[in-house]
Structure 1
Amino acid sequence: MKHVIHLLTIVLVSAACEGVGQGRITYQPDTAMLAKAFETYREATINNRRFKHADIEPLILKRLGGNAFEVTQLGVSVLKKPIYQLKYGIGPKRVMLWSQMHGNEPTATMALMDLFNFLEASGDGMDSIRNLLKAQTSLYFIPMLNPDGADVYTRRNAMDVDLNRDARSGATVEGRLLINAAKTVRPDYGFNLHDMHIYYNTPGTPTPVTIALLAPAYNEEREINEVRGDAMRIAAGINQLLQGYVPGGVAKYDDTYSPRAFGDNFQTWGTRTVLIESGGYKGDPEKQFIRKLNFIVILNALIEIAQGSYAQYDIESYESIPFSDSKLSDVLLRHVSVSRDSMEYTVDLSINRNEYTVDSEYYVQSRISDVGDLGENFGYAELDAVGYHFMAGKIYPRVFDRVGDVSMEQAMDLLRQGYCAIQLAQMPENRHHGLPMVAFYQQAPGTAGPHLGRAANFFLSKDGEPVYAVINGYLIDLAAAPQETFKNYVQ
């Protein structure tokens, strides 16, 4: 869908929207304006997902003493890292936004840094938005609730507790900080900002769920009261905006009531709460496009809260958003011919690449996640392998001193000869490498295959010649130049 290109329009609307008085000016920003705001105010110091507390703390502290934000240290984490709250505006509608309660869910945190830049700017033709937010809302941001988890890119905190299951007991220091912040602020609206795995799809389609939304339940029966109904309307407005960017790429998150979860409890406490889960988008491994979407939908939702215009959306529009399915994989190979124990058979193979963090980098290890009839499944990369045969790879006999001794061109030539792995004489200090090869020191990887859970290193051949390589879960067309950035690791 092409975006309609307009300037910021200012229109008069009637009092049909709650909180918008007769004749009051309502701001109707379009997608081009919101996208321009993101590009203008994107925080340039953060470019990938694995940033740490030390990377965002200066971005918070530089706002101390400024005119836009009131910065407060709410407390410290288990490992004594400061946890901050930033307040913007003096209006009557109190909105609380918290991000990264799971340390490995940083997409919205990036977007909040961009939003801070936007809110403290001026003189760019968008001051009317800032003035509206200042006058009508008081915004309370907690941009990194779990700094200990963020520093090692893990879900849980340093006590090994999932903070989003601590709303009832308050056993963690970070959970208590959020509970106390909610008691102090008593927010009217809340945004619970998360990431989810990239393997959710909209039901029956190969489209990844790029953003999942939820107005969490406040009781077991999942009833709809005024508070939850308003949250549904806000989510419906977010969905409508997102359809212009990721058509069909929005779904609802599981709405099973959880008495331990913060979103459900905020809803119970009377806060109109919306969960935003950042999922997957093809070609966006660092989630920079999804970061942009977070910026756009959060800013637009805040504008709609400020002027009450979210009331234009109906609950039925929210209910019509499908629940997410989970039938995506990184690679799906259909109709692969396999010979094993004198048997010939045809199967589909799904392959996933699991990420492992090392400092600010990561590598992947692949696994065959399913084997059999996967007719209802999909892949970010798919290949109909009718006529292709599973072929185990060979280990190149020459021993190389280091990975750097092999060029990309050499690696591709070795793949075309049916070699999937190279041997190294010594273990390198930096074990990351970007070659489309298995590299190992001392112990050779297994190349038999296709077994559930086994690493995905093999070829698809035709007439005995390799045509495609699958190396550590990356699908490589041997007739073309590599299209991926390989995140491999010396074994």
Structure 2
Amino acid sequence: MNLEQVFKQYKEESIHGRYITLALIEPLLHKLNTNKQLKIIGKSVLGKPIYSYTIGKGKTKIFLWSQMHGNESTTTKALFDFLNVLQGDSEIAQQLLSSFTFCAIPMLNPDGATLYTRENANKVDLNRDSQELSQPESKLLRATFESFSPDYCFNLHDQRTIFGLSETGKPATLSFLAPSYNEKREINESRLKAINLIAMINEKLQPYLPDQIGRFDDSFNINCIGDTFQYLGVPTLLFEAGHFSNDYQREETRKYVFMSLILSFKILFENDIVVNGIDKYLSISQNKVIFYDFMYKNIKINYDGIEIITNFAAQYKEELIENQVCFIAYISQIGDLEDKLGHLEYDAKGALYKDDFDNIPKLDQKADFYLDNNVKFVNGMIKI
């Protein structure tokens, strides 16, 4: 199977970029509702409908949810690409629909999606609410889990551009995790199933995304939904969509999430799962905080007549301005940047730093400055 070609064929072109809201996906859900697969399972804090979409007639039940965090939209795009496959008449669609029943909640947190925030409208992180179930969205997710009784859970998220792989010096474009079910991080039957599946996904995805796949931290937190579902005995996989070079809109990353979903279910369909994949799983590079969006090296700064050479880094903050996600670069670290990398790195070779204030970089200051008066940086990048 040519996964690149499958993605091009079924990509949902009507949604793109980072700002994915309920208003954008509702028409798609109704378009996909060809046989009463769509259901409103409840409402958000602000009264917006939360939908589930169920398709297939297979014995193995797959539960997927996305945008639990409103500003994590990459997997939502990939999920719609995947649902387009299931609505097609290809061989893979027929195989998957006969083997699996899929229940997807494409947008668990529509209020957070509109506000482009991690939390819901009550400023609660839904991924820390799996025990208290204090929010309507958390209750709906748990109720759907219990009524659907899945065999596998797919917990779909985004991660920040700061994550990478120390061994390769590359960004962690995708990271996976079989969440722990207890404090000791032991491996029981359900967690082993998730581990085995992730080991195979990684193996089959490497030719498409070499050295850019990470393993997320498995510290146990029963308040997290993935840990809770694993604790309840259902194999759960965490997907974290990360950064691909120059892909801040995450359209390339979207493709690899799509490929991972197709591979997941193809592996399960073909029973192409390693018996004990623990070693293969643990060999996946650990996801670590090693990146800044920008790194500036060998910058000359004049401190009251004393010149020093230093480094500093800048990081984008994602700000919603007039219904558009804008990436605004702010200085985030000054001095020793040992063991850190920049998605974009600039060696000033001793050029003198100047700005419109007091010619000294400061934390949380916008990354607008000059080097030797003849190179201008605006929003972190050289202005041509």
Q: Same fold (TM over 0.5)?
A: yes
277-286 or 202-211, which moves further after superposition? 202-211
- SS state at 2:350 partner: coil
Name the structure 2 match of 1:244: 207
Give structure 1 regions of 4+ aligned residues with deviation exceeding 4 angstroms: none
Name the structure 2 match of 1:141: 104
1:154 pairs, out of 117, 125, 143, with 117
CA distance 1:204–1:333, change in 2 (3 Å): farther
- SS state at 1:248 partner: coil
Q: How does 1:217-236 map to 2 (within 5 A)?
A: 217-236=180-199
Q: How does 1:301-316 map to 2 (within 5 A)?
A: 301-311=264-274, 314-316=277-279
Name the structure 2 match of 1:453: 364
What is the CA distance between 1:51 and its match in structure 2? 2.2
What is the CA distance between 1:387 and its match in structure 2? 3.2
Name the structure 1 match of 2:4: 35
CA distance 1:388–1:206, change in 2 (3 Å): farther
TM-score, with structure 1 as normaliser: 0.75
Name the structure 1 match of 2:38: 71
Q: Give distance in 2, aligned partners of 1:228 and 1:78.
A: 33
Q: Give distance in 1, aligned partners of 2:119 and 2:347.
A: 39
Q: Give distance in 2, aligned partners of 1:239 and 1:94.
A: 22
Q: Does the 8 Å CA contact 1:93/1:306 hold for their aligned counterparts?
A: no
What is the CA distance between 1:99 and its match in structure 2? 0.5
Q: Does 1:355 align with 2:318?
A: yes
CA distance 1:313–1:119, change in 2 (3 Å): farther
Which residues of structure 1 form unaligned runs of 5+? 1-28, 394-445, 477-481, 483-491
2:48 pairs, out of 67, 73, 81, with 81
Deviations 1:249-276 (A, max 9, x none): 1111111100101000111111111100
Q: Does 1:93 align with 2:56?
A: no
What is the CA distance between 1:362 and its match in structure 2? 2.6
- SS state at 1:309 partner: coil
Deviations 1:376-407 (A, max 9, x none): 111011122223222335xxxxxxxxxxxxxx
Name the structure 2 match of 1:108: 75
CA distance 1:376–1:140, change in 2 (3 Å): same
Q: Does the 8 Å CA contact 1:152/1:359 hold for their aligned counterparts?
A: no
CA distance 1:301–1:58, change in 2 (3 Å): same
Residue identity opposite 1:111 in structure 2: A
Greater RCO, CA 8 A, separation 6+? 2
Q: Does the 8 Å CA contact 2:301/2:360 hold for their aligned counterparts?
A: no
Deviations 1:116-141 (A, max 9, x none): 1111111xxx32x2222122211111
What is the CA distance between 1:167 and its match in structure 2? 0.8
Residue identity opposite 1:50 in structure 2: Y
- Bigger Rg, structure 1 or 2: 1
Name the structure 1 match of 2:376: 469
Q: Does the 8 Å CA contact 1:350/1:368 hold for their aligned counterparts?
A: yes
Residue identity opposite 2:381 in structure 1: Y
Q: Does 1:52 align with 2:15?
A: no
- SS state at 1:344 partner: strand
Name the structure 2 match of 1:421: none
Aligned identity (percent) is 35
Aligned residues: CA RMSD:
1.6
Q: Give distance in 2, aligned partners of 1:266 and 1:116.
A: 24
Name the structure 2 match of 1:405: none
Q: Does the 8 Å CA contact 1:204/1:376 hold for their aligned counterparts?
A: no
Q: How does 1:290-305 map to 2 (within 5 A)?
A: 290-305=253-268
Q: Does the 8 Å CA contact 2:301/2:359 hold for their aligned counterparts?
A: no
Which residues of structure 2 form unaligned runs of 5+? none
TM-score, with structure 2 as normaliser: 0.96
Deviations 1:200-248 (A, max 9, x none): 1112553111111100000000000111011011111222233223322
Q: Give distance in 1, aligned partners of 2:306 and 2:140.
A: 61
Name the structure 2 match of 1:269: 232
Q: Give distance in 2, aligned partners of 1:39 and 1:313.
A: 34
Residue identity opposite 1:334 in structure 2: K
What is the CA distance between 1:447 and its match in structure 2? 5.3
Equivalences, count: 384
Q: Give distance in 2, aligned partners of 1:46 and 1:277.
A: 19
Name the structure 2 match of 1:202: 165
Q: Does the 8 Å CA contact 1:331/1:475 hold for their aligned counterparts?
A: no
Residue identity opposite 1:452 in structure 2: L
Residue identity opposite 2:11 in structure 1: R
